[in-house]
Structure 1
């Protein structure tokens, strides 16, 4: 059964030049709790439509009227509002009126004498379409707002991920710089000590040669360590480049870039690294982003080893070609993840190490990079002694 409540409190602009008909229809519309604004012709109706301070929900109009007929009024109104529901009432059944009605997007066509029940049904049908359209517009607006919020949230997460990665990089830079800086300090101290202590007899040719050789060797050492520091900075700087350019490369290249950054850190924590590169396929990738993914996974494994004090810690990285792509498996023997958590480890802000200040965005960003930016796949499976992360990337994206 049609719900007549939809008509309650709507406002109808009613144009009818015959006063008796106008009064009768208006009285009936009032019974439906409809607000009615009455006009005597199309010109008056157009003027009221343009100037009314009330929102007009529907137009009910006769066709044959003085000054400006119903069709003329509708044409002018359609220039202002293409969607407002319009119902025509007329005693005429000429085909030309019906054709005009179709072209002007008329909601319904009611013949005189007016059947109140048919008029009511026409009003409900016309208003239902308007309400549904307005609801759809409102939902679209809310959806756009939610999309914008999600985009802003994504940008925040990406920024957080970038800062978290930067923090990890700074820690690794500090770690990798300790030994070269210590060696530079030792070489500098030896130079100063030898110079001030008078260890070389500069009055003899032999003493001068000995001093020159000593200073040359120490300065060569310092130059070597400075170059080492410079290379480290270049590796990390390249990682943070934001260039979004596809590189056609084997997957071995970003893995090697990752190891330039993290391998010394793994070695210093006695973590064995086993590499098995079998893949030869070239794929289109954002190299820095894929490097970011590998660093996230390897750092998670390292943190887990240290947290659990794992003996004989081991990470294996295997690559192999698959149809139209490559598969990378990164395995560690640091214990698995609870089965209930396997499906949610890639969700934003989920972390198994919150007590250790885990951000819970590293794996989420890895999923975004692999699945959204590269149309690939990333997932994890528990193994007997640990967990394996699988990354699948395709040759053409």
Structure 2
């Protein structure tokens, strides 16, 4: 009985769905046709009208506001437009402000009145075409308005309008539907003609295609939605009012109302209902007669499915039995084998009967009962569905091979057992061992290369120290040459004074004072030289400004001899210091210029950069005119958590193709024998590895700038 009622209900639902689908399809087709025909109309009007407006004669007439010439021009064209569209055509000319200038809706039929419309005002303002439906006094038209230019000057607006009847007739012929236009009350009050239907709220129905439409529409109730059904004289109609005609700005102007005769569909539903009742009665009778056969058929199907299930089990059993992987089934308590497959017998070398007399521990020499039980306990207690572990199996001939075992619990003939699927992983283990050996060899090779590199860097450091020592000895020689000359002059002057006028106490005291000043200066040079090469036992805080001044003092004589000025700028937040060609220590030494590291190594970095700057300036002076004055600027900024030391020289900067390589080992741009190419490389290692800072190079406005960024030791000490 339930099946009969379901069949009846499905039949009715099917018919209703077919009806709804047909109506929905036509509904979508209306929407598509409305959009498609509107687009086609806009493109057609635009193409035709632009062709008319391209005429120089017309644009000149509009510029001169000559109505007669405009009338004569459009009299020739109007007939062709009407013949093409088979409906009323309105041509409207407006001045540059959007105000009506003249209007033509038949050959020779002119008037000069009009009313302002927002669409025209927007065309006049934007100087761009606008198109869309527009509701005027005499009905709804589709209008296209185009700005007109004469000699590059905007002279007015030309507008063409076509009655909406044209669009509705195209849709009616295509869709075979009756239709009309519904005008809302706020827009209907501007109509100058009597509508076909009018509601109590002021809405109006115009452009209807059938007189019956008016009667049906007046009875329609749209209070519950845009779709309603009407019963008129035994006929059924479905009325839609959810398609809209929009103006130039997308505003809804009117609604397209359609109605469809669905009497045949309603009759079809009634017919199918009657047919379904008759079929239900027939099915009740047949069901009683076929009950016995149905029960017999069900029993037969169940027997067939049972046989198929057993056949499938046998099929799967054959696959498992013939698998080359080892598959074991053993008792969950005694671990004695219950069943094994052919792959297990072949891999172990035992016969099937021999294996069934053994336990799983007999082939696992590395496991005891307790250790194996511990491995499979999560499966036995239901904590996991499966476990996996690795061990070794022993064959009958005593050979061992590695295996990966997957354990799970299952049932065989109602008995709880353990099933183990075993994979021989000999090849995988061999590959892992080879990979391990390769990794060990690679690690050993890396360690050897690292040790060799560190040894090479140590040799490079020692070589660099010897080079720096030679440069420093040369600098000391420059520093001492002038004081020694001064001492020689003092000795000669003392001898001449002694023979000429004798030596008095004041003269001797002055000579002694001057000589001691010179000797102390030479002693300071020796101290600077000694401190420069004194080995640093450990990293310690030091005043970076003091180290900069001591390094410059060692080479100041060489710089002055090479006509190179040097400037020192120091800012620490509390005070600032500036000196030019002077290495006197500022009286404002502050803990804010403290950095941590090896002071001797830092001085080496300074010396490398200074010597490179000096060589670059000398090379530039040789290539330019005499009188070029070189300079090296040391700018120290200790205002933040980091101390930034910028060393700038005007030696010509660093070429773009070189600047990425200046810190590479053994890279030099100097002639062979004049540079080793390890100075800047070692400098970068000292700053970044030993002092945990940064050393960068850049070229700007013909100057090379090396910038050292170091962490202020005062920040940590103060904290």
Q: TM-score, normalised by structure 2?
A: 0.38
Cross-structure match for 2:604: 292
1:230 to 517, 523, 541: 523
Cross-structure match for 1:69: none
Asked if 1:344 is matched to 2:683, the reply is no
Cα separation, 1, equivalents of 2:466 and 2:512: 37
1:42-76 Cα distance to aligned partner (Å, 9 max, x none): xxxxxxxxxxxxxxxxxxxxxxxxxxxxxxxxxxx
Cα separation, 1, equivalents of 2:570 and 2:698: 21
Secondary structure, counterpart of 2:563 in structure 1: coil
Asked if 1:273 is matched to 2:273, the reply is no
Asked if 1:373 is matched to 2:690, the reply is yes
Asked if 1:189 is matched to 2:478, the reply is no
Cα separation, 2, equivalents of 1:90 and 1:147: 51
Cross-structure match for 2:633: 316
Asked if 1:166 is matched to 2:469, the reply is yes
Higher helix share: 1
Measure how far apart 1:167 and its partner are.
Answer: 1.2
Q: CA RMSD in A?
A: 3.4
- The worse-fitting range, judged by mean Cα deviation, of 325-334 and 304-313 is 304-313
Secondary structure, counterpart of 1:331 in structure 2: strand
Cα separation, 2, equivalents of 1:180 and 1:373: 38
Secondary structure, counterpart of 2:513 in structure 1: helix
Q: Does the 8 Å contact 2:632/2:649 carry over to 1?
A: yes
1:177-203 Cα distance to aligned partner (Å, 9 max, x none): 1011111222223334555xx324xxx
Measure how far apart 1:271 and its partner are.
Answer: 1.3
1:149-194 Cα distance to aligned partner (Å, 9 max, x none): 0110110111111111111101100111101111122222333455
Segments of structure 1 that go 5 or more residues without pairing to the other structure are: 1-88, 201-206
Higher strand share: 2
**Could you say if the C-alpha distance between residues 239 and 93 of structure 1 is closer, same or farther in structure 2, counting changes exceeding 3 Å?**
closer
Q: Does the 8 Å contact 1:279/1:321 carry over to 2?
A: yes
Cα separation, 2, equivalents of 1:168 and 1:92: 76
Cα separation, 2, equivalents of 1:284 and 1:252: 13
Measure how far apart 1:98 and its partner are.
Answer: 8.8
Asked if 1:136 is matched to 2:408, the reply is no
- The worse-fitting range, judged by mean Cα deviation, of 278-287 and 341-350 is 278-287
1:260 to 546, 550, 553: 553
Cα separation, 2, equivalents of 1:192 and 1:144: 70
Q: Does the 8 Å contact 1:283/1:325 carry over to 2?
A: no
**Could you say if the C-alpha distance between residues 168 and 269 of structure 1 is closer, same or farther in structure 2, counting changes exceeding 3 Å?**
same
Cα separation, 1, equivalents of 2:630 and 2:393: 84
1:302 to 588, 598, 614: 614
Asked if 1:96 is matched to 2:389, the reply is no
Segments of structure 2 that go 5 or more residues without pairing to the other structure are: 1-360, 376-388, 404-423, 574-591
Cα separation, 2, equivalents of 1:395 and 1:260: 24
Cross-structure match for 2:595: 283
Q: Rg: which structure is higher? A: 2
1:279-323 Cα distance to aligned partner (Å, 9 max, x none): 353332322222221221111111111122161212121122465
Q: Which has the higher contact order (CA 8 A, sep 6+)?
A: 1
**Could you say if the C-alpha distance between residues 133 and 233 of structure 1 is closer, same or farther in structure 2, counting changes exceeding 3 Å?**
same
Cross-structure match for 1:199: 500
1:185-232 Cα distance to aligned partner (Å, 9 max, x none): 22223334555xx324xxxxxx5xx44444443343332222221111
